[in-house]
Amino acid sequence: MADVRVELEPRRLTAGTGEPVIVTVTNTGDVIGGYAVRVLGADPAWVRLSDPEPRLFPGESTTVALELRLPPGLPAGERRLAVQVREVTGEQAIAIEELVVDVAGAPRLGVRLEPGTVTGGRRAAYGVVVENTGNTLVDAAIVGTDPEHRLDFHLEPSRLRLAPGEHLTATLTVSGKRRLLGSPVARAFELRADERAQPAPRRRRDAPPGDAARAVTQPDTPPAAMGVFVQRPVLSRASVSLAGLLLAVTVFALVIVTALNTVAARSAADRDLALQVSQAREQVATTGTSSLSGLALLLSSGEPVAGVSVEAFDVTDTSAPVATTASGETGAWAVSSLPAGSYKLRFRGAGFDEVWYPAAATNAEAASVEVGPGESAAGLAVLLGGVPATVGGTVSGDDVAGATATLELPLDSPALLGQLGASEDTGAGRVRGAVVRTVPVGSDGAFELADIPSPAVYDVVVAKPGYSEQVQRVDVAAGEDRTDLQLQLLDGDGAISGRVTGATGPLGGATVTATSGEVTARTVSLTEGEVGSFTLRGLPTPGTFTVIVTAEGHAPATLSLNLGAGQQLDGVAATLGAAAGSLGGTVTAPDGGGGVNVTVTDGSSTRQTVTQSTDPVGSWSVAGLRIPSTYTVTFTRADLASQVVSVSIDGFGNVTAGAPAPDRVDAVMRSATGVLTGTVSQYRDAAAGSAAPAGNVRVTATSGTNEYTVTTASTPADAVGTYVLEDLVPGTYTVTFSRRGTAPTSQIVTVGASQRLRIDPVLVAPASISGRVSLAGEAAEGAVVHLYLASQYGTAAPPVATTTARGGRYAFADVDAPAHYIVELRRSPTGAPLVTSAPVTLGASEAATADLTTP
């Protein structure tokens, strides 16, 4: 008979240490055996055996070195394996020993910023994608630091709890005090994952910059992610330039307003000036070799001005010009044949204020221009401004009260083109200009914009919340009174149309809401015809709209759309995911899958249910799950080995990994315990003849502190000797079979989970007493023989057994032992004792002899 024994050293090890497990295999049988060694519960690619198929002589042992190379990413925790040694010859005996492998946790977080760089003012928002790429649950905070200690960081959620393979997107807000003036500043910062850190506290208003960043000790590890916050100053160069321009325009307008009182008086002077200009065109200096030249340009637009008188004065006498000329069609002028010296230049023209070079109101503030003999001073440009003008008109519409009229200097005008950098787009294809003045529109629709610089080209913009913005461009001449403008305030003339779809196709009955400021428009997608289509009309343009699409049983979708002036935007696609997901399936087990506890968790929420015990047995389902997400589904029952499944669900409730479908998350569970069964037989007599099933045999299985006991059946006749030991915890047991009067027998077995082992032992014969009986030297026939316990003989206790002599012999079979007995001989059951034996000491399964002879 072949048999095998297996021993492991060590029985528990830590993964990744490289420590081998020594498997000792012993052939406990009486024939040569060949064996196959394998590891249950592990991928064969993880296992290396020094001798996977040893051959042993009877009683011989060998050692097999077992190396486990578990793959990275294996979930942390205790992993139970089993080393199986199976005989491939003879009776194919199997021995199994449990091996416990501790997989250490390797927490790893992947962090990335989306986008990596953001431009903003006081604060900026980033998306932070955090993924657990390790093998254990991570509970960590994302800590932000910057080398200048000028930024505060706030992450929502502030603390992250991620299962292996899980990821989520958090919102990072970076804020800091910005500079008042200057250029944008790029502030670099780092993000680190800290399992011990708490979220960085918000900095107090009275705390110096960087206190929040210093609240967390910076580790020496490399940063998980890096980002840049390009922080704009409060006043940019473009703003300062625009403010300077508007200040100049304002100052100029004030000067012009002051000059309005003298316009009538200057009319005659202008006529005289025109005559002087005409004369100046003919006047040319006749001495000297030096010259002066330049341009006369409009202050408001930078365009050339023709017919402007240019007078050159000697710096020592500004009462009379030494030379006079006028600007041509291109604004160019030139004075030649001047003697070498220093000069001041005065520019005058009809409808324009007098200006001394380069931009002075009087000769005392003017700059002198010096030229040497034969030299030429070129590029002497001066900006001239006309007298103030007035722009006005009437706005018509259903409700003009509350509207405003704004005068803007277009940024594409020659005066501003390329000077202010990037400009603000209204979202309607129009670039806002520099605002010169804004006035409210009266209830009668009238408006007036007075004292504006001229000549110039302006945009007149009429706007009111909820209505379309109207723009009219006007060309204002110097001092012009333009009050006949007609503008109409229109209702929204924009539209948004498209289609709503769900996971199964077009979705009717969805509510579509568009919001822009105080304007809100709603509609419902069609349920017939072009199912899912929708149209929102009467939207004020230009504008930016937030469109929210909702439907029962679906997650809402949010879109941000820009409408240009009068734009009819179509082809908008809104796809709605499921509002919640569900998982379900069927559990099968050896005795039915009912009553199994099912736990579904994604780390932040946990749902539980129990599989059905009625038809359909083993089925389960859990609804209302947050999606998209990855869930860990755990199946447990006290008598079954636990099963764990990881399932990922997308935004439409479909399974992307872990199961064929949301309703097919199935599990096949095996018993967590083993069963030992068999039939106990016993030889009838010491001669070890035939054996028969034995009832009332005590069967005991012991493993450490665990002990299981049962007694073999004594009825009915066809079940005598059978036994069943159930719910055995997997392990190695010593099984003992004992019966009164019989020497016990033991056997060592290994029971695995869900394993059913059978042992059919044969007990040796029970104890017995026999002997010869003679009366007066002759074999007694029919004499009565009593068997007493020695401790009860001579008392009123009856004999434990009685028999009748046959052929001069008697025998008591199946006697309880160990014990002390006395045998007594009588002629009849009630007769007097004739002879008694000496005390007989009887051991288990011992055959004792006690002869009885009378004189």
* pLDDT at residue number 750: 92
Spell 120-149 as b/e; 16+ CB within 10 A means b: eeebbebebebbbebbbbbebbbbbbbeee
Domain spanning 494-575, CATH architecture: Sandwich (2.60)
Q: What is the mean pLDDT of residues 70-82?
A: 80
**Rounded CA separation 657/659 (Å):** 6
Average pLDDT value over all residues in the chain: 82
- 114-168 pLDDT per residue, tens: 887 888 888 888 888 888 888 788 888 888 888 888 899 998 888 888 888 788 8
pLDDT range class, residue 250, cuts 50, 70, 90? low
**255, 256, 262, 265: CA torsion to nearest 10:** 130
What are the domain boundaries of the chain?
Answer: 4-103, 109-231, 265-384, 389-488, 494-575, 581-668, 674-763, 767-853
Helix/strand/coil (H/E/C) assignment for every residue in 752-773: CCCCEEECCCEECCCEEEEEEE
Superfamily of domain 4-103: Immunoglobulins (2.60.40.10)
- Residues 395 and 406: beta-carbon distance below 8 Å: no
Sign of CA dihedral 308, 314, 319, 324: negative
Fold exhibited by the domain 674-763: Immunoglobulin-like (2.60.40)
* pLDDT at residue number 222: 67
Higher pLDDT, 849 or 185: 849
Classify domain 581-668 by CATH number.
2.60.40.10
* 196 pLDDT higher than 60: no
Higher pLDDT, 587 or 603: 587
- Residues 603 and 166: beta-carbon distance below 8 Å: yes
**Rounded CA separation 288/292 (Å):** 12
Q: What is the mean pLDDT of residues 182-208?
A: 61
- 402-413 pLDDT per residue, tens: 889 998 878 666
Of the listed ranges 165-174, 255-264, 752-761, 821-830, the one predicted with least confidence: 255-264
**Rounded CA separation 127/252 (Å):** 49
CATH 2.60.40.1120 fits 389-488, yes or no: yes
Q: What is the DSSP string of 814-826?
A: EE-SSEEEEEEEE
Name which of 20, 32, 24, 27 is nearest 8 in CA terms: 24
Q: From 2.60.120.590, 3.90.79.10, 3.10.180.10, 2.60.40.2310, which CATH number describes the 109-231 domain? A: 2.60.40.2310
**Rounded CA separation 310/280 (Å):** 8
**Rounded CA separation 841/545 (Å):** 107
* pLDDT at residue number 263: 40
- 768-804 pLDDT per residue, tens: 899 999 888 788 888 899 999 988 888 888 999 999 9
Helix spans in 523-579 (H) = none
For 470, residues 6+ apart whose C-beta sits below 8 A from its C-beta are 461, 462, 463, 487, 488, 489, 490
For 36, residues 6+ apart whose C-beta sits below 8 A from its C-beta are 52, 53, 85, 86, 88
Q: From 3.30.9.10, 2.60.40.10, 3.40.50.150, 2.40.50.140, which CATH number describes the 265-384 domain? A: 2.60.40.10
* 760 pLDDT higher than 90: yes
- Residues 293 and 318: beta-carbon distance below 8 Å: no
Name which of 508, 680, 667 is nearest 598 in CA terms: 667
**Rounded CA separation 389/250 (Å):** 13
**Rounded CA separation 203/799 (Å):** 99
- Residues 417 and 331: beta-carbon distance below 8 Å: no
* pLDDT at residue number 620: 92
CATH class, 767-853 region: mainly beta
The percent of residues in the chain predicted with pLDDT above 70, rounded, is 86
Higher pLDDT, 298 or 524: 524
* pLDDT at residue number 300: 62
The edge-to-edge listing of strands for the beta sheet with 109-114 is 109-114, 123-132, 167-175, 152-156
- What SS3 class is residue 21? strand
Q: What is the mean pLDDT of residues 259-270?
A: 44
**Rounded CA separation 174/212 (Å):** 12
